[in-house]
């Protein structure tokens, strides 16, 4: 079994965009509230990370965690009363667990609590489960879900020679879309949770990266990032026909990641770097008009 280079893991997991470098402060991985009025995101520093919320109307931000730990990759629950995220020691070398935060009380509850590294949590639309990726001792990952009532875990992928990242739920909670890396090949995959049947949405070879996929609200499209020359940018693919189009073209020195549709499907929140520092932007889904939400 192969092991990933640690620097590559850090760039892929924490930034969700190939070519990103550690900066003094990055604003990354936005997630929409169910009412579309708030975005939560991951504020990354060199030795710690915090979860913050951003009001779309006012532009004001509020810290939801205090920076005493490394908190990353937030995801709202269906009614907007809580979030799930991954948490570790500030140096990123310790154990990563999946936790939930009740926004009213501030109570933090561990969803996982073991020796493994677990990241990229996503709360299911039906509110019953959280999906995440778990690293094994060789640096490989698989996707799991955990039942929030019983604590029972289900392993979704079984790929000893590949790794999966960034699972996102379809609106009916019946499928997940994720990116898979197998040597020099990168793939966007949809998996039916009832049958475990996989559909390949897109494949690239030669070390090129496609990553961080996310469904449109009706499940008809999947957006994802791609990094390669004139193909660099945000892409969308039809989930039935697998026809792909470049939605937001970028220059070679730009990096994009963490793109997610608003609940009404009209906007896309994402993080974008012109160089090596990521800021938050909002994209009109129809005309690709880009607006800065929050920068460094």
For the chain, domain boundaries? 6-294
DSSP structure class, residue 200 = E
DSSP structure class, residue 169 = E
Is 291 in contact with 285 (CB distance < 8 Å)? no
β partners of residue 31: 40
Exposed e or buried b for every residue in 183-204, given b needs 16+ CB within 10 A?
eeebbbbbbebeeeeeeebbeb
Q: How many CB atoms lie within 10 A of CB 289?
A: 11
Angle at 21 between CA 15 and CA 235, to 5 degrees: 45
Instruction: Tell me the DSSP string of 19-45.
Output: T----S-EEEEEEE-TTSSEEEEEEE-
Cα dihedral 141, 45, 259, 239 in deg (nearest 10): 0
How many Cα atoms are found within 13 Å in the side-chain-facing hemisphere of 24? 2
Is 164 in contact with 177 (CB distance < 8 Å)? no
Q: CATH assignment of 6-294, given 2.120.10.30, 3.30.420.40, 3.60.15.10, 1.10.150.670?
A: 2.120.10.30
The per-residue pLDDT for range 243-276, each reduced to its tens digit, is: 999 999 998 889 999 999 999 999 999 999 987 8
β partners of residue 248: 234
Angle at 160 between CA 158 and CA 161, to 5 degrees: 125
In 3D space, the residue among 266, 262, 259, 205 whose CA is nearest the CA of residue 236 turns out to be 259
3-state secondary structure of 128: coil
pTM over 0.85: yes
Q: Tens place of pLDDT for every residue, the chain, 296 residues? A: 333 323 333 444 444 443 344 447 899 999 999 999 999 999 998 888 999 999 999 999 999 998 789 999 999 999 999 999 999 987 666 789 999 999 999 999 999 998 889 999 999 999 999 999 999 988 999 999 999 999 999 999 999 999 999 999 999 999 999 999 999 999 999 999 999 999 999 999 988 899 999 999 999 999 999 987 678 999 999 999 999 999 999 988 899 999 999 999 999 999 999 878 999 999 999 888 999 999 97
């Amino acid at each position: 079994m192969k092991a990933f280079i640690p620097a590559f893991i850090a760039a892929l997991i924490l930034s969700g965009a190939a070519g990103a470098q550690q900066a003094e402060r990055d604003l990354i991985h936005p997630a929409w509230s169910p009412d579309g009025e708030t975005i939560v995101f991951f504020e990354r520093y060199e030795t710690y990370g915090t979860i913050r919320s951003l009001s779309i109307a006012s532009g004001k931000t509020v810290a939801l965690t205090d920076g005493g730990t490394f908190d990353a990759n937030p995801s709202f629950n269906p009614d907007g009363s809580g979030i799930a995220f991954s948490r570790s020691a500030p140096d990123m070398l310790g154990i990563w667990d999946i936790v939930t935060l009740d926004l009213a009380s501030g109570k933090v509850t561990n969803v996982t609590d073991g020796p493994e590294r677990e990241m990229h949590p996503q709360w299911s639309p039906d509110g019953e489960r959280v999906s995440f990726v778990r690293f094994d001792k060789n640096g490989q990952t698989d996707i799991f879900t955990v039942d929030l009532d019983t604590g029972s875990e289900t392993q979704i992928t079984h790929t000893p020679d590949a790794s999966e990242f960034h699972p996102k739920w379809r609106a009916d909670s019946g499928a997940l879309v994720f990116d898979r890396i197998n040597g020099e090949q990168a793939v966007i995959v949809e998996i039916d949770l009832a049958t475990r049947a996989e559909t390949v949405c897109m494949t690239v070879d030669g070390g090129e990266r496609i990553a961080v996929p996310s469904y449109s609200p009706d499940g008809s499209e999947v957006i994802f990032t791609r990094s390669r020359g004139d193909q660099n940018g945000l892409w969308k693919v039809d989930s039935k026909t697998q026809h792909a189009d470049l939605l937001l073209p970028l220059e070679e020195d730009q990096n994009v990641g963490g793109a997610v549709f608003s609940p009404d499907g009209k906007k896309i929140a994402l993080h974008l770097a012109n160089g090596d520092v990521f800021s938050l932007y909002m994209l009109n889904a129809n005309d690709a008009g880009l607006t800065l939400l929050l920068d460094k």
